[in-house]
Amino acid sequence: MLLVADIGNTNITFGIYDGDKLVGTYRLTTWFKRTSDEYGFMILNFLNASGVRTDEIDDVIIASVVPKIMHSFTNSIRKYIKKEPIIVGPGIKTGIKIKYDNPKEVGADRIVDAVGAHYTYGGDVLVVDFGTATTFEIIDESGTYRGGSIAPGIQICAEALSSKTAKLPEIEIKPTETIITTNTIQAMQSGVFYGYIGLCEYLIDKCIKEFGKDMKVIATGGLGRTISKYTDKIDIYDPDLTFKGLKIIYDKNRA
């Protein structure tokens, strides 16, 4: 079995592959001060909940955009899973070409999403990943990563609205029945949610126009499921795209 892990700024997500089948997923909050033992106990609980023994894990592959926790996290893998984890980064075979001014600037999460989208859906694709930041990446039909755009995530927008104003409270991010509302909470929810859809639709349209051809638009990440229901610009919502990309990269590097 293969343990895959995606370490983001807000959450760490795990998946277990039994062959080519994803048999379990788990999510925990990213916190810089956890020790290797704390991460180890959480991983063991995840495996136990999935009915998997540590000796059934053949390998571990990790994509991370949070360098600060990598020391304790990788040590937890070595100590509790008894494996040396594969880290997505320079020197790893991905099967795609990076057309970027400085390829080293492309985050591991963006690379993994690009791999997952290219090998799962083919053709020209635009991936929109709704994470701490919302990233837009274009991968052409030849498997070349052509770049994209990065916007603040919807949670960041909501937190900025409440933290930078004296009287506006924190809100739950969710759609309202109407855009015109009659109380402050719903007015904020309406502005943040539908305003963010407007941001996404504009960037999707501009990406397609500048690329010069139609593309499949694949959404993934946290709130991607909810947002994709409220726009016709997104063709597919794939919650497991990052896991798929990690599995594909692992298969390419297994030898």
> What would the DSSP string read from start to end of 148-161?
EEEEE-HHHHHHHH
Residue of 130, 145, 115 lying closest to 203 (CA atoms): 130
Cα separation, 150 vs 124, in Å, equals 19
CA distances from 251 to 13, 60, 185, 240 (A): 20, 12, 48, 17
- Candidate list 20, 58, 109, 235, residue with the active-site label: 109
Pick from 215, 173, 164: nearest CA to 194:
173
- In the sheet where 216-220 sits, what is the strand order? 97-98, 144-152, 133-139, 125-130, 216-220, 236-237
Question: Cα angle at 246 between 18 and 153, to 5 degrees?
Answer: 125
The yes-or-no answer on residue 109 being catalytic is yes
Distance CA 51, CA 125 (A): 36
| Collapsed DSSP state (helix, strand, coil) of residue 29 | strand
User: So which residues are the catalytic ones?
Assistant: 109
